[in-house]
Structure 1
Amino acid sequence: MKNKLIVTLTTVKGSRQYSLGQLARYVIALFIVLTMLSFAVSNWLLVRTQDDLAVLEEDHQQLTDQYELMLGTQSLYKTELDQLSASLSRVAFERDRLQAENIRMGDQLQEETIRVGELHATLGASLNGLEAMLNLDTTEEVTPERLEQLTLMANQRLFMLNSIPNGLPIQPLRITDKFGMRMHPIKKRRIMHNGIDYKANIGTPVYVTADGVVEYAGNKGDGYGKQVVVLHNFGFKTVYTHLNSTNVKRGELVHKGQKIAESGNTGKSTGPHLHYEVRYLYKPLNPAHFVSWNIANFDTIFSNVKSVKWASLKNLYPLNQSAQP
């Protein structure tokens, strides 16, 4: 009896006793220990999951803020440039007028000289602001030639940024696959991945990354599901696939930042995401170089993407400063 465990169960009908051997006691003890261990581990995982969720929510909010800022970058640059150009023109006109008045009105020369100095400082600050936006070295000299040169440069950059793909096509949760060789999640072998995969909830807006014309909108049955293909200037093309729905039709003209579709999980896909490609004369390029391209780091695209003969662009109007309309 000393190696047995006696368990007594009492009910309204009386009591009954059950004896358990030493092995049974070990099994029960092990069960109790495992139960307590499982409870402790579950609590730890729950706390850890809540912490990870909080971090993910914070990261998602940061991505949301960054995307909203990036999405309107070109429009903001254009608006600021137009306002700055108008302001510079008014200030320059007022400065010239006051200088002319100073010549004719000697008795008010001192007062007008002060006003000219103030306007000159305002013009210089505005000019430096334009140089900072273009990521150029600032200059202390304020001349009409410098103003004209900077305005022309800004307009040229904006023209290129509206013509060639740049910026994010979607507000993503994160990047799940980059451009290059990878292990295909369905085919289970290494093949070339010609774009970037952005994880996004079904129904997330998809925006075209440059002005162009819709070459295709629909489902080709090639595994990419519903897709939109857009032709852009200078031989560039962008592709948006695995869509849930499309908002444009073939032959439709679209402008940069226009919503053209909603992301989905159609075709051969392991989860909701947007597959985004940038092509030049049918050759896939790394979209990452174009996603990060903007007015401030304008020259980086020419060194990062060497397969495009950028040098020939300088002869095109309106990029050719000497060209006449």
Structure 2
Amino acid sequence: MLQKKLVITLTTAQGSRQYTLGQLARYLLALFLVMSICSFFVSNLLLVKTTDDLDDLEQGIDTLTSQYELTLGTQALQKGQLNQLSSTLQDLTLERDKLQEENLRIGELNETLDASLYGLEDLLGLPQSDEMTSNRADELTVLASQRLYFLSNLPNGLPIQGIRVSDRFGMRMHPVHKKRVRHNGLDFKANTGTPIYATADGVVEYSGYHKKSGFGNLIILQHGLGFKTYYAHMSKLKVKSGAFVSKGQLIGLSGNTGISTGPHLHYEVRHLFTPIDPEPFVAWNISNFDSLFSNVKGVKWASLRKMYPLNQALQTAQQ
């Protein structure tokens, strides 16, 4: 009986050899081959699955990386926005503080301005307003400017400081000629060298020694609206004929030149060559502004009112 044998022939360069396997060996070889084939296919399947899993994992990693980078970018953007917002809030806080300080300063300025305007009413000799409105402030400004214009151009105030009046305007016994004559000005007793000042803006009509009048060293100033002022018996002259002078400017020093019994200043105010009592002009200021036009009778003030209404602002304010 022929036995079933498995013959395996191996051929090499040296020749061929045959090996004979029994039935059990055949079974084992077959089992090994089957297991090898199964292992191969299972390994391939696992490799494919593992490869797919790795691809999915790489895609997941790429997705996570992109999301992480996006998150970082978003955080950086948010951080920049927060920093900008913080800076803006700081600027707004500073601006708010500045505005508060400015409001306080404006409030203080308004209080100061109101106080100044009420003080201006007192200075102008006007009754105090119940409320300081912008219209009232404008009226006061116009009125003050109007009065200052006239006080700059018409004689007012003292031509010499701290000196007593030794002789006034009007008829008197002349101290040298010993006869009753009209005295056309005010005499201010003063030591030689006392400063003398212009009582209004003007131009020097005459500056020199005036022998004919007995005034000695004399300065004549021309002012607005036909007014002139005379300063006589001076020891020194500080301005020359033709020069422009402003109110309060030093024009000379007191003395005893000409026909004089002692050092003093003879001061006159004239309108169109007519001497006028200087005392109302000496006492005239911004507070008693209207007093000059009622106290000085030798000037036709009515025509001046028609040309430039003196009380226009005051009349408007009282309506």
CA-CA distance at 1:172 after TM superposition: 4.6
Which of 269, 291, 297 does residue 278 from structure 1 map onto? 269
Of stretches 292-301 and 127-136 in structure 1, the one that deviates more from structure 2 is 127-136
Shift of residue 171 of structure 1?
A: 2.0
Give, in whole Å, the separation in 2 of the partners of 1:136 and 1:284.
32
1:304 maps to 295
1:60 match:
none
Q: 1:191 to 1:140 in 2, by over 3 A?
A: same
Hey, what does 2:15 align to over in structure 1? none
| SS of residue paired to 1:239 | strand
Matched, 1:149 2:127: no
Question: For residue 201 of structure 1, what is the aligned residue in structure 2?
Answer: 191
- Once the two structures are superposed, the pairs formed by residues 49-60 of structure 1 within 5 Å of their partners are none
Q: Give the 5 Å matches for 1:130-279.
A: 130-222=120-212, 223-279=214-270
Equivalent position of 1:17 in the other structure:
none
Q: Does the CA contact (< 8 Å) of 1:183 and 1:190 recur in 2?
A: yes
Q: Which runs of 5+ in 2 are unaligned?
A: 1-102, 314-319
Q: Identity percentage over the alignment?
A: 58
Shift of the 119–172 alpha-carbon distance from structure 1 to 2, 3 Å rule, reads: closer
TM-superposed deviation, 1:142: 2.3
Per-residue displacement from partner, 1:7-27 (whole Å, max 9, x unpaired)?
Answer: xxxxxxxxxxxxxxxxxxxxx
Q: What letter is aligned with 1:183? A: M
Per the alignment, residue 66 of structure 1 pairs with: none
Cα drift, residue 121 of structure 1:
5.3
- Counterparts of 2:311 and 2:166, CA distance in 1: 41
How does 1:71-82 map onto structure 2 within 5 Å?
A: none
Q: Map of 1:19-168 to 2, 5 A cutoff?
A: 123-168=113-158
1:155/1:115 Cα in 2 relative to 1: closer, same or farther (>3 Å)?
Answer: closer
Displacement after TM superposition at 1:124 (Å): 3.6
In the TM superposition, what is the alpha-carbon distance from 1:262 to its structure 2 partner?
0.6
How many angstroms does 1:310 deviate by? 1.4
Q: Distance in 2 between matches of 1:261 and 1:314?
A: 34
Change (3 A) 1:167 1:156: same
CA displacement, residues 96-119 of structure 1 (integer Å, 9 cap, x when unaligned): xxxxxxxxxxxxxxxxx9999887
1:141 to partner: Cα distance: 2.0
Deviation at 1:220, TM superposition (A): 2.0
Larger Rg: 2
- Tell me how far apart the structure 2 counterparts of residues 301 and 182 of structure 1 sit (CA, whole Å): 25
Q: Distance in 1 between matches of 2:259 and 2:231?
A: 14
Q: Once the 2 structures are TM-superposed, how far is the Cα of residue 174 of structure 1 from its aligned partner? A: 1.7
Aligned residues: 211
2:282 corresponds to 1:291? yes
- 1:315 positional shift: 4.2
Question: Per-residue deviation at 1:255?
Answer: 0.2
> Structure 2 vs 1, CA of residues 200 and 119 (structure 1 numbering), >3 Å: closer, same or farther?
closer
- Cα shift at 1:316: 4.0
Distance change in 2, residues 1:149/1:224 (3 Å): same
Contact 1:123 1:142 in 2 (8 A): no
1:229/1:240 contact within 8 Å kept:
yes
Using the TM superposition, give the Cα deviation of residue 127 of structure 1 relative to its aligned residue in structure 2, in angstroms: 2.4
Q: Which runs of 5+ in 1 are unaligned?
A: 1-112
Which secondary structure does the structure 2 equivalent of 1:186 belong to?
A: coil
Partner of 1:146, secondary structure, is helix
TM-score, normalised to structure 2, is 0.62
Residue 266 of structure 2 aligns to a residue whose secondary structure is: strand
Q: Note the aligned Cα RMSD (angstroms).
A: 2.5
Output the CA distance in 1 between the equivalents of 2:112 and 2:163.
43
> Which amino acid in the other structure matches residue 265 of structure 2?
L
Whichever residue aligns with residue 145 of structure 2, its letter is N
**1:150-205: CA deviation from partner (whole Å, max 9, x where unpaired):** 00000000010000000000125321110000000011111000000111011111
Partner letter of residue 165 of structure 1?
P
The DSSP-based 3-state class of the residue aligned with 2:208 is strand
User: SS of 1:234's equivalent?
Assistant: helix
Distance 2:109 2:301 in 1: 40
Compute the displacement of 1:140 (Å): 1.4
Give a deviation string over 1:229-273, Cα, whole Å, max 9, x none.
Answer: 000000000000001010111110000000001110001100000
Q: Is the 8 A contact 1:236 1:279 kept in 2?
A: yes
Q: Distance in 2 between matches of 1:159 and 1:139?
A: 24
Q: Which amino acid in structure 1 is aligned with residue 234 of structure 2?
A: L
